[in-house]
């Protein structure tokens, strides 16, 4: 057994920079998470019979079963899982095996209570739940490595296993253990080198909190300094990336070349550095959950798909998603309308997914998630959900090879900044602030409107801002940014790029230190203005309805910067007795490009007009903008070099539209379609047209 913790922790600190080859997929994987160990009765053969009849071709197993694999310390038992995997393989059902490290066995907690989380300000995690351990604790890592290696030694050569999921929904939020604090201090030492540098960078002379020896370095508990807090959050994200890289490296020692490594990230994208965390994975995975019935919009799936597809610039896997209802209680039970489960599958495929997997096969009869229902209800009998899964699976058996590996060439991107998300959490600007305001209110407003207007969108990141691949880049409040990043944005505009930028951008540097120059700092020339004042307010109108959205929608709220024009022109002014002289929204031609700046939070209607105007200005419009939600369309190129057009109806009414592209084939109906043909979509339905070459 190879238990070289010191070497592995060194890897843990350094990470990996090698780029992996893209994983090859030749069919759409459509399956379920399966927990035979949760069943109230023996029914493996029956479950496999039902899965086979339905057309399910994949199961994920094992990610929650450490206590069954190792029921007592050092005593390993795999025969029960052997039977499951062997039986699935005999039936032609592929298997993804999870490493079970996110839920520790009771014997480990009893022997080593120090592995459980300590929270800030004295709180402590207790045994009885999952994800309650310090993922940097050496004892936890020792036992985790041992179970992973034992599993891989036993299963790596199994012909039924196509891939491995490392851990599950990993996060390090809230951890404050001694080991974690030591790791953070060492990380800070390595980054800043000297206390003089640290004191200056973080401005620790403020309130006399400068540090004269590393022994004086404080724990996170009571710290208010924004530079410290930003670095702490970076270290949280790094800890997750190091942990997942560490697990991936162990699995890679054993896995076959035809097997892949993945992880199921959560849609709360601000909590983890997905780029660093997935660097040593072959394919990225995500868990996507959302409201159904009349609240189903499809945008949650599109946001997750656009984001995670962009992280590795490749296709992705939906590791978990709604089957019937979701929730840790019975307050929000919303079983899908007829057609919605099927539509959801194709919605994910239209965003670039190569796999859709339900959580889970059967509803659970005990524990926290009894109301998070699977394909089968608690009676374990075929039902309405099962029939819809079966219909979808059999369609995929016929047309899946035309759908797999969908590639996109979008010309619009949103810049997502983890650092800005965190720094805005430290200094919120709204009295109605909610956690993840940056993602859910700022970023999501842009994405929602792009989605509703059928504008294909990618995400880009400060770590690798490939701006020049896009004609329009949208930049939500970039509150934390280095001079180098802001120069790249300015150079992009000057070279012919188009930018929509939101308030607070450029205000602070990469250490969350406010710049000591006129705002917006290095962006001033590209933006064409400066400002010295800002204000909170509830709601204001703009003078004269400049975007022609009507009185009720001609509103801005929450935050106002009082912009002073230099080379920019005003697109809108605040309708205010005292501050009406200041522009709220500006446009500046800089070099060959254009930058629109919003000094305030604008209504959806105003934002939509700004986006659509810039789409025309940048020359990236298409016939898709003739449709609007609830008619949604997505497109891309398949393995045959043909363009696929997906169309979705997110309503309970029949919808029609005119097909605007070249002659093609309706893949689901197996019929030809000509340009200008009228296409009808049933309520909660989908149409897929493959253009002929």
pLDDT digits (tens, 9 = 90+) for 560-570: 999 999 999 99
Q: What is the pTM of this model?
A: 0.95
CATH 3.40.50.880 fits 412-619, yes or no: yes
For CATH 2.60.40.1180, list the domain ranges present in the chain. Answer: 625-691
pLDDT digits (tens, 9 = 90+) for 444-492: 999 999 999 999 999 999 988 899 999 999 999 999 999 999 999 999 9
- 404 vs 121 pLDDT, higher one: 404
d(Cα 182, Cα 108) in Å, to the nearest integer?
23
User: Is pLDDT of 12 > 50?
Assistant: no
Instruction: Decide the pairing of beta strands 664-666 and 94-98.
Output: unpaired
Instruction: Decide the pairing of beta strands 458-460 and 412-415.
Output: parallel
The pairs formed by 489-493 with CB atoms below 8 angstroms and a separation of 24 or more are 489/465, 489/523, 489/526, 490/522, 490/523, 490/525, 490/526, 490/590, 492/467, 492/468, 492/593, 493/526, 493/590, 493/591, 493/593, 493/594, 493/595
d(Cα 578, Cα 691) in Å, to the nearest integer?
57
DSSP state of 294: G
Q: What's the pLDDT score for residue 22? A: 56
Which of 63, 70, 145, 169 is the catalytic position? 169
d(Cα 639, Cα 672) in Å, to the nearest integer?
20
Stretch (H or E) spanning 262 = strand 260-262
> How far from chain centre, in Å, is Cα 494?
31
CA angle 123, 129, 134 (to 5 degrees): 55
Shortest CA distance to 173 belongs to which of 141, 144, 114, 132? 132
Token pair belonging to 171: 């996060």
pLDDT digits (tens, 9 = 90+) for 321-367: 999 999 999 998 999 999 999 999 999 999 999 999 999 999 999 99
d(Cα 623, Cα 621) in Å, to the nearest integer?
7
User: Is pLDDT of 7 > 60?
Assistant: no
User: Is pLDDT of 208 > 60?
Assistant: yes
CATH 2.40.50.140 fits 625-691, yes or no: no
Token pair belonging to 308: 């995670």
Token pair belonging to 496: 């012919």
For CATH 3.20.20.80, list the domain ranges present in the chain. Answer: 5-114+125-172+239-403
> How far from chain centre, in Å, is Cα 483?
27
Q: What's the whole-number mean pLDDT along residues 110-132?
A: 90
pLDDT digits (tens, 9 = 90+) for 65-106: 999 999 999 999 999 999 999 999 999 999 999 999 999 999
Question: pLDDT-based confidence at 646, cuts 50/70/90?
Answer: very high
Stretch (H or E) spanning 47 = helix 44-54
Q: What is the mean pLDDT of the chain?
A: 95
Range list of H helices, 93-216: 106-111, 138-155, 178-192, 195-202
For CATH 3.40.50.880, list the domain ranges present in the chain. Answer: 412-619
Q: What's the whole-number mean pLDDT along residues 189-211?
A: 96
Tell me the β-bridge partners of 600. Answer: 560
Which of 63, 145, 231, 320 is the catalytic position? 320
Domain 5-114+125-172+239-403: CATH architecture, name and number where available: Alpha-Beta Barrel (3.20)
Q: Is 320 a catalytic residue?
A: yes
User: Is pLDDT of 246 > 60?
Assistant: yes
Q: Does 130 count as an annotated binding residue?
A: yes
User: Is residue 525 exposed (0-12), middle (13-18) or buried (19+ Cβ within 10 Å)?
Assistant: middle
The answer to whether 277 and 244 are in contact (CB under 8 A) is yes
Query: Where on the phi/psi map is residue 377: left (φ > 0), alpha (ψ -120 to 50), or beta?
Result: beta
**Percentage of residues of the chain with pLDDT beyond 70:** 97
Q: Is 608 a catalytic residue?
A: no
d(Cα 353, Cα 332) in Å, to the nearest integer?
27
Q: What's the pLDDT score for residue 362? A: 97
- Say which residues have a Cβ less than 8 Å from residue 285's Cβ, sequence separation at least 6: 165, 262, 263, 264, 265, 308, 316, 317, 318, 319, 355
d(Cα 533, Cα 231) in Å, to the nearest integer?
28
């Amino acid at each position: 057994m190879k238990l070289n913790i010191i070497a592995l922790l060194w890897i843990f600190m350094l990470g990996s920079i090698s780029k992996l080859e893209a994983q090859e997929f030749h069919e759409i994987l459509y399956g379920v998470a399966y927990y035979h160990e949760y069943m109230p009765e023996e029914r493996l053969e029956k479950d496999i019979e039902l899965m086979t009849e339905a057309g399910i071709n994949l199961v994920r197993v094992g990610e929650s079963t450490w206590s069954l694999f190792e029921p007592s310390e050092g005593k390993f038992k795999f025969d029960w899982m052997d039977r499951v995997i062997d039986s699935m393989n005999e039936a032609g059902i592929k298997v993804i095996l999870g490493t079970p490290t996110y839920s520790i066995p009771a014997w480990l907690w009893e022997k080593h209570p120090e592995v459980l989380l300590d929270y800030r300000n004295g709180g402590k995690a207790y045994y009885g739940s999952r994800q309650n351990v310090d993922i940097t604790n050496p004892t936890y890592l020792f036992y985790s490595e041992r179970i992973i290696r034992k599993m891989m030694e036993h299963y790596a050569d199994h012909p039924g296993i196509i891939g491995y999921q490392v851990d599950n929904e990993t996060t390090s939020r809230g951890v404050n253990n001694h080991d974690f604090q030591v790791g953070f201090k060492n990380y800070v030492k390595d980054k800043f080198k000297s206390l003089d540098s640290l004191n200056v960078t973080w401005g620790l002379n403020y309130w006399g909190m400068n540090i004269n020896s590393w022994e004086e370095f404080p724990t996170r508990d009571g710290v208010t300094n924004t530079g410290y807090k930003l670095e702490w959050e970076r270290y949280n994200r790094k800890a997750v990336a190091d942990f997942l890289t560490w697990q991936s490296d162990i699995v890679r020692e054993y896995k076959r070349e035809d097997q892949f490594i993945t992880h199921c990230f959560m849609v709360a994208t601000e909590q983890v550095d997905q780029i660093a965390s997935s660097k040593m994975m072959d394919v990225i995975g995500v868990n996507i959950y959302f409201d159904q019935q009349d609240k189903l919009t499809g945008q949650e799936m599109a946001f997750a798909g656009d984001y995670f597809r962009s992280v590795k610039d490749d296709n992705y896997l939906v590791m978990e998603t709604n089957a019937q209802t979701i929730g840790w209680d019975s307050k929000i039970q919303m079983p899908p309308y007829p057609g919605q489960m099927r539509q959801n599958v194709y919605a994910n495929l239209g965003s670039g997914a190569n796999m859709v997997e339900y959580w889970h096969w059967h509803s659970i009869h005990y524990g926290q998630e009894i109301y998070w229902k699977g394909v089968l209800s608690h009676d374990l009998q075929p039902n309405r959900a099962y029939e819809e899964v079966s219909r979808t699976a059999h369609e995929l058996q016929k047309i899946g090879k035309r759908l797999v590996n969908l590639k996109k060439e979008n010309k619009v991107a949103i810049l997502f900044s983890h650092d800005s998300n965190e720094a805005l959490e430290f200094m919120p600007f709204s009295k109605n602030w909610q956690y993840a305001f940056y993602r859910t209110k700022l970023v999501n407003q842009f994405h929602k409107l792009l989605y509703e207007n059928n504008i294909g969108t990618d995400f880009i990141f400060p770590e690798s801002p490939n701006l020049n691949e896009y004609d329009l880049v949208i930049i939500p409040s970039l509150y934390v940014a280095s001079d180098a990043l802001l120069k790249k944005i300015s150079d992009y505009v000057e070279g012919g790029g188009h930018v929509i930028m939101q308030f607070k951008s450029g205000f602070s540097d990469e250490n969350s230190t406010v710049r000591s120059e006129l705002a917006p700092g290095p962006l001033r020339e590209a933006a064409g203005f400066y400002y010295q004042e800002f204000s909170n307010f509830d709601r204001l109108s703009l003078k004269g309805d400049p975007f022609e959205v009507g009185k009720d929608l001609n509103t801005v709220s929450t935050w106002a910067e009082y912009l002073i024009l230099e080379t920019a022109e005003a697109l809108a002014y605040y309708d205010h007795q005292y501050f009406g002289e200041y522009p709220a929204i500006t446009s500046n031609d800089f070099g060959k490009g254009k930058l629109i700046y919003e000094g305030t939070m604008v209504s959806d209607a105003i934002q939509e007009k700004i986006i659509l105007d810039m789409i025309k200005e940048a020359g990236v419009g298409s016939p898709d903008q003739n449709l609007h939600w609830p008619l949604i369309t997505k497109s891309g190129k398949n393995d045959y070099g043909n363009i696929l057009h997906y169309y979705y109806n997110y309503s309970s009414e029949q919808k029609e539209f005119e097909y605007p592209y070249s002659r093609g084939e309706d893949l689901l109906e197996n019929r030809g379609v000509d340009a200008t043909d009228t296409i009808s979509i049933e309520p909660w339905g989908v149409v897929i047209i493959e253009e002929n070459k």
